[in-house]
Amino acid sequence: MQKVVVTGGLGFIGSHVVDALLAAGRQVTVIDSMVAAVTDGREYEVFPGCQVHRVSIADYLAQGGSFKDQDLVVHAASHVGPAGILKYQGSLGADIVAVTQQVIEECVTHDVALISFSSAEVYGRSGMLAESDDIIVPTHYNARLEYAIAKTLTEAATINSRHRGLRGFVIRPFNVVGPRQSRAGGFVMPTFVQQAIAGRPLTVFAGGGQERAFLSATDLARFITEHAGAAFESDRPIFNIGNPLNTITVWNLAERIIERLGSTSSIEHADARLIHGPLYEEAESIQKLPVLDAAKAVGWAPTITLDELIDETALYYRVRDDAREAAAVPLDAGARV
């Protein structure tokens, strides 16, 4: 698979996938609407085998673009983040589904393999979560549920399109973090790291007892560059990609970041709705941990530790600003509970 299209390739996950593909010598076509971009992509244009299109997928196809003669599409384009999705509530699900359906149709038409990104949010419950587990749909409607239902529908569309000849599978990533991730989406790691560097209080929501298993974006991208072939051959439809060895509560993560960075910051309980607005909701899953049987079966395992993730994220933000700073709430926004 030498010729690869990456949708959302200038976003956080997408850009790490592009990095890995270019390092592996692939020819890459990047398509990104720039809505949630964390890089402008100029660093990619120096590669002779890379093209960057700063348009939506719909506009790319409408303007004569095509997936014809490509070997693989990695579909990472989506609205993301517990805070980043809020302003799209009501149209969020339709947008996600419509874009993914366009990608699927183009892949079916031109016989191009597809890796489609979903989300661990689809499980709708707490615990150790495996691909074969039932998906729970809570009855409390909010933006996060709209997002989860939309991602579930894109999974079904991808998998059900196999009967039309689509070669495709789905990735469910668990709490991917690393350099370039913006706090603008409401993501906890870049928020805590940037607050600690600035000496601001680290703002913890909902008590901080939520357990998360943090995965390096580099480990995720390596699944695609080194194990996609085996994943296609396995004929498995869905792969959890995460790192249960990096499991930690949100409160303990705040403590670990302060310790690793030697920060003078304090930790404060905060009301997320006073920071991100009244539509903000916590995830249904207090404990969100991946079972990795499918990924292990094709030879993949995560390698980057939590401390390494904290250190490399801090190293990045000590010398760079958040690329989406204008869309983020101030570092010192918060209210004691």
- Tell me the mean pLDDT in the region 89-103: 97
- The per-residue pLDDT for range 98-113, each reduced to its tens digit, is 999 999 999 999 999 9
Mean pLDDT, rounded, of the chain? 96
Is the pLDDT score of 278 beyond 60?
yes
Both 302 and 219 in one domain: the answer is no
57 has pLDDT over 60: yes
- Give dist(CA 52, CA 71) in Å, integer: 17
- Domain of 269, in residue numbers: 177-212+245-327
Q: Is residue 145 part of a domain?
A: yes
pLDDT in tens, 180-198: 999 999 999 999 999 999 9
Asked which of 242, 258, 281 is the last residue of a domain, the reply is 242
Please indicate, yes or no, if residue 136 is contained in any of the structural domains. yes
Give how many domains the chain has, as a whole number: 2
Specify if 335 maps to a domain.
no
Residue 186: the pLDDT is: 96
Same domain as 19, residue 156:
yes
The 3-state DSSP class for residue 198 equals helix
- Is the pLDDT at 333 greater than 90? The verdict is no
Give the pLDDT confidence score for residue 62 in this predicted structure: 96
In a domain, 320, yes or no: yes
pLDDT of residue 220: 98
Query: Domain check: are 28 and 10 in the same one?
Result: yes
CA terminus-to-terminus distance, the chain: 52
Task: Kindly state the average pLDDT of the residues 138-163.
Answer: 96
pLDDT band at residue 337 under the 50/70/90 scheme = low
Residue 83 near residue 184, CB atoms below 8 Å: yes
Q: 54 and 27: one domain?
A: yes
Please report the pLDDT score of residue 336 as a whole number. 63
Q: Could you report the per-residue pLDDT of 10-31, keeping only the tens digit for each?
A: 999 999 999 999 999 999 999 9
CATH code assigned at 254:
3.90.25.10
- What pLDDT shows up at residue 50? 97
Q: What is the pLDDT of residue 218?
A: 98
Q: Mean pLDDT over residues 286-300, rounded?
A: 97
Q: What is the pLDDT of residue 265?
A: 97
CATH number at residue 21: 3.40.50.720
- Residues of the chain with pLDDT > 90, as a percent, come to 96
Residue 335 pLDDT greater than 60, yes or no: no
Residues 165 and 257 in one domain: no
Q: How far apart are CA 36 and CA 95, in angstroms?
A: 14
Shared domain check, 225 and 281: no
Residue 125 domain-assigned (yes or no): yes
Looking at the structure, do residues 129 and 219 belong to the same domain, yes or no?
yes
Other Cβ atoms less than 10 A from the Cβ of 44: the count is 21
Instruction: Render pLDDT for 204-251 as a digit per residue (tens, 0 to 9).
Output: 999 999 999 999 999 999 999 999 999 999 999 999 999 999 999 999
SS3 assignment for 210-247? CEEECEEHHHHHHHHHHHHHHHHHHCCCEEEECCHHHE
Q: Does the residue 206 lie in any domain?
A: yes
Is residue 304's pLDDT more than 80?
A: yes
Is pTM beyond 0.95? Reply is yes
- Predicted confidence band of residue 332 (pLDDT cuts 50, 70, 90): confident
* List of residues 6+ apart from 239 with CB closer than 8 A: 131, 169, 170, 171, 172, 223, 231, 294, 295, 298
Task: Answer whether residue 1 shows pLDDT above 80.
Answer: no
